[in-house]
Amino acid sequence: MEHYDLCVIGGGPSGYAAAMRAIDFGKKVLLIEKDKIGGTGLFNGALWSKTMWEYSERMVQVKEETGVNHASFEGMMRMVDEALFERKFQMTVHMKLLHEETESKLFHYVKGKASFVDKNHIRIEKKNEEFTIHADYVVIATGSRPRLINSIPVDEKIIFTSDGLDNLNKLPESLVIVGAGVIGCEFATIFSNLGKTKVFLIDKGDRILPFEDEDVAHTVMDNLERNGVVIHKNSSLNKIEVIEGKVHYQLKYNDGSIANFTVDHALISIGRVPNVEDLNLEAAGVELTPAGYIKDFDTQTTTPNIYVAGDISANIALVNVGEREGRHAVARIFGENIKPLVYTNISTIMFLNPEVASVGMGEQEAQKKNISVKVAKIDYSCIARAIAMRKTNGFFKIIVSNDDEMRLLGMRAVGEHASSAIQAVAYLIHTNQSIEELAVMMHPHPSIIEGIQECVRMLLGKSIYKSSVFKDKLKCYVRDNDVCIPLEKL
């Protein structure tokens, strides 16, 4: 029986990162993946959908410049295939060289289905063989899959989840998306950007992105609607069925009214569920939460030598979080004095129209927690780089504590370069530094991040443009629960 210092189950972003980190410690590691290396982070997930978004954004720009819509399904999928091939090729060549050409022979890979015999023994099923290995430690990183509802007849041909969208062979004339969270809104953005699909988005509330600040959600919602997306607000799905190759769905609105619609395809985007069923976790003593995720404390499960990373835990389901958890779990196993992971100030990106990025606390969260905050907000139309780019749709918003210290609590960025712009603030939050650091730095000009500096200057009473003059473009106020008071009135 083969022995390993560490066995990693799952070759997505979390598992791959965990396996590579184990090599840093000089440990013999086995990575097991039953399907595709890269997992959802590569296929039908982050890289896949974001490449589609990049293509759609290019097509929007081309149409603005030429007046002609050059978008094609074939062109988009060609770009997606190239991106996936490049990333997959990098990962597989990297693994092959690690396995075959390094002297240490620390890394090993098996394509197969893994399940626990006990806490140290893993059974591996391949096409024509079955065998068991022994591992001192295990990291489970088997990821998640789209959530399904029995009443919705998903066939991945007419009614899709994100896992089946690559079965499309042309852009549909019409598409309904069930679910107005991040993934649903991202696909609504992609298909509406392409300009050849009428998109409908079902939202049970009065606005999309219910977890985000209202101004962020309304900016995205307004742009989607300007792009032709029909948002069914305050509605619930009564029924959905396929009749003669078309999707028929019925909505019930909060006022009790009923409406019926017919479209070519439907995309179901109502969350994800963890992949735990085939692991035989009971044999290893690993416990689950009531929602079906693996219980953990700082990546360690209820069985001390077994750890967890990525979507299968009940933490934040993001590639960057999963990779960090995988690396952290291995560092906890083989390292010393490792500080616990902190999930409070994670940077996120939403590939919408416009792009949205965030870090830390938003206004909505501050209200829910009854925390009094100071807020500074600057419209992109006041930022020289945005004006030069002719991309003035968006804003920066910085949230700090409502006291003399004005500790950085969070930031929201909506617009061009949003994902890059938040990093300076993310770092200051991480290191608990003062907003004065941003105020006195000499930022490059013209750059988008000058807008962040102007936000900070507003809070310090040092801004170039005054919020009392440009009231529609610049805002600086105290938010105390539901009450907003402009700073100049305090």
Q: Which CATH code fits 354-489?
A: 3.30.390.30
The pLDDT profile of the chain, 490 residues, written as one tens digit per residue, is 899 999 999 999 999 999 999 999 999 999 999 998 988 888 888 899 999 999 999 999 999 999 999 999 999 999 999 999 999 999 989 988 887 766 668 999 999 999 999 999 999 999 889 999 999 999 999 999 999 999 999 999 999 999 999 899 999 999 999 999 999 999 999 999 999 999 999 999 889 999 999 999 999 999 999 999 999 999 999 999 999 999 999 999 999 999 999 999 999 999 999 999 999 999 999 999 999 999 999 999 999 999 999 999 978 888 999 999 999 999 999 998 899 998 888 899 999 999 999 999 999 999 999 999 999 999 999 999 999 999 999 999 999 999 989 999 999 999 999 998 998 899 888 888 888 888 888 888 999 989 999 999 999 998 888 888 888 899 999 998 778 888 776 5
**Distance (Å, whole) CA 132 – CA 122:** 5
Listed residue (398, 395, 392, 321) closest to 356, CA to CA = 395
**Distance (Å, whole) CA 233 – CA 221:** 11
**Distance (Å, whole) CA 467 – CA 51:** 38
Residue 261 burial (10 A CB sphere; 0-12, 13-18, 19+): middle
3-state secondary structure of 439: helix
Which residues of 159-234 form beta strands (DSSP E)? 159-160, 174-178, 198-202, 230-232
End-to-end Cα distance, the chain: 73
pLDDT at 441: 82
Q: Which CATH code fits 3-145+273-334?
A: 3.50.50.60
Number of residues assigned to the chain: 490
Helix or strand run (H / E) with residue 453: helix 450-460
Q: Assess contact for 57 and 193: CB atoms under 8 A.
A: yes
pLDDT at 442: 84
**Distance (Å, whole) CA 343 – CA 315:** 8
The conformation of residue 295, written as its DSSP 8-state character, comes to P
**Distance (Å, whole) CA 334 – CA 326:** 13
**Distance (Å, whole) CA 310 – CA 14:** 5
pLDDT at 438: 82
Angle at 125 between CA 121 and CA 127, to 5 degrees: 160
pLDDT at 16: 96
Listed residue (415, 413, 255) closest to 424, CA to CA = 413
- Sign, CA dihedral 255-258-259-264, equals positive
Domain with CATH 3.50.50.60 in the chain: 3-145+273-334, 159-270
Q: Which fold has domain 159-270?
A: FAD/NAD(P)-binding domain (3.50.50)
Domain with CATH 3.30.390.30 in the chain: 354-489
Amino acid sitting at position 372:
S
